Amino acid sequence: MIDLRSDTITKPTEDMRKAAYEAEVGDDVYGEDPSVNRLEEAAAEMLGKEAALFVTSGTQGNQIAILTHCQPGNEIILEADSHIFYYESGAASAFAGVQTRTIKGKRGAMDPEEVMYALRGEDQHYPETGLICLENTHNRAGGAVLPIKNIMKIYNIGKEHHIPVHIDGARLFNAAAALDKPAGELAQYCDTVQVCLSKGLGAPVGSILAGSKEFISSARKWRKRLGGGLRQAGILAAPGLYALTQMQERLSEDHENALFLAGKLSEISGLRIENQVDTNIIVADVKGLNMDSVQFVERLKHEGVLSGTFGHSSVRFVTHYDVSRKEIEKAILAIQRAAG
Ligand SMILES: *Cc1c(COP(=O)(O)O)cnc(C)c1O
């Protein structure tokens, strides 16, 4: 099987397994796990923040950010197709007790003016705006990279109105690779950022939440409340550190593979590529094949390729470390057969 469902399916490399095996560990709830401490320090520095926290997942990192920044009854502003709104099981309302105010973006980027007009003024009728969330790269926009100017403008609006900005950077390193800029340059325009170690970087488990020292110490308490305080977590942090430091550079290979794949798929009649392929995600519309996405995904599975439904007639393909160019070539033939 060639698995193009997601970059989350990447398995830890031999080096990562070795790092896990050899990891120096301690009780991280006591702050005594040297491998976790090392990972948090390296991540904070890489993201240009004072401090960082190792969390179990991207969802947990985003939710801890909302819980730490907001009070119940606050409103958070986020893009209408953002992961936090679309894919986190309603956690922001279930845990933080905030309501969401969505703004439809262009390729995942909200118009800064619309964000500004959405901020609440002083009035007893209004909830207080507690947080603005951005997503980079934007998953449902097909791995779109947010323009740096867009992030900067929204961050400045937030600063002016004393509203923090959080970046859901599950794939921030993909954005950084696509722009050929260090991740810290993209993360400078936010108060807090969450990055996944377990997607394209290939670590088995975990995400990083980074921000100011004060923010991270409150976030640590929220992590504990949520049951995310782990003990000898160095076993997980050591491969995470390896992923963070050794796996970033190769992300552009995934992007090249995605572009190559998208180019070939666009030649298949009845199949239309919906997104501009900035990074490692391709979204294809299968309407022209007289199938819905469920049918197409099933047919393709019989041809030996796994993909994901992404809407009624949309199918998502994600390139990653565990699929080589040779396998991409095989996948193209399989997709041609499934379409035929
Ligand atoms: C995958 C993803 C998350 C959540 O990460 P998990 O580790 O799966 O909880 C958050 N945001 C975006 C944009 C993602 O793609």
* Mean pLDDT to the nearest integer, 219-232: 98
Distance from residue 62's CA to the centre of ligand 1 (Å):
9
Task: Name the residue with tokens 């923090």.
Answer: 164
First to last CA, the chain: 20
**Whether the CB of 134 sits within 6 Å of ligand 1:** no
**Whether the CB of 81 sits within 6 Å of ligand 1:** no
Q: Which residues contact 68 (CB under 8 A, 6 or more apart)?
A: 192, 215, 218, 219, 222
* Mean pLDDT to the nearest integer, 177-198: 98
Retrieve residue 77's tokens.
Answer: 């502003």
11 burial type by CB count under 10 A (0-12 exposed, 13-18 middle, 19+ buried) = exposed
Closest residue by CA, ligand 1 atom 5: 58
Q: Is pTM beyond 0.95 here?
A: yes
**Whether the CB of 57 sits within 6 Å of ligand 1:** yes
**Whether the CB of 58 sits within 6 Å of ligand 1:** yes
**Whether the CB of 170 sits within 6 Å of ligand 1:** yes
Closest residue by CA, ligand 1 atom 4: 58
Could you tell me the pLDDT band of residue 127, with boundaries at 50, 70 and 90?
very high
Q: Over the chain, what is the mean pLDDT?
A: 98
Per-residue confidence (pLDDT) for residue 334, from 0 to 100: 98
- Contact at 8 Å (CB) between 275 and 144? yes
Ordered by where they begin, the domains of the chain are 11-246 (3.40.640.10), 250-339 (3.90.1150.10)
pLDDT digits (tens, 9 = 90+) for 38-47: 999 999 999 9
Per-residue confidence (pLDDT) for residue 50, from 0 to 100: 98
**Whether the CB of 93 sits within 6 Å of ligand 1:** no
Closest residue by CA, ligand 1 atom 2: 170
Distance from residue 269's CA to the centre of ligand 1 (Å):
33
Distance from residue 124's CA to the centre of ligand 1 (Å):
35
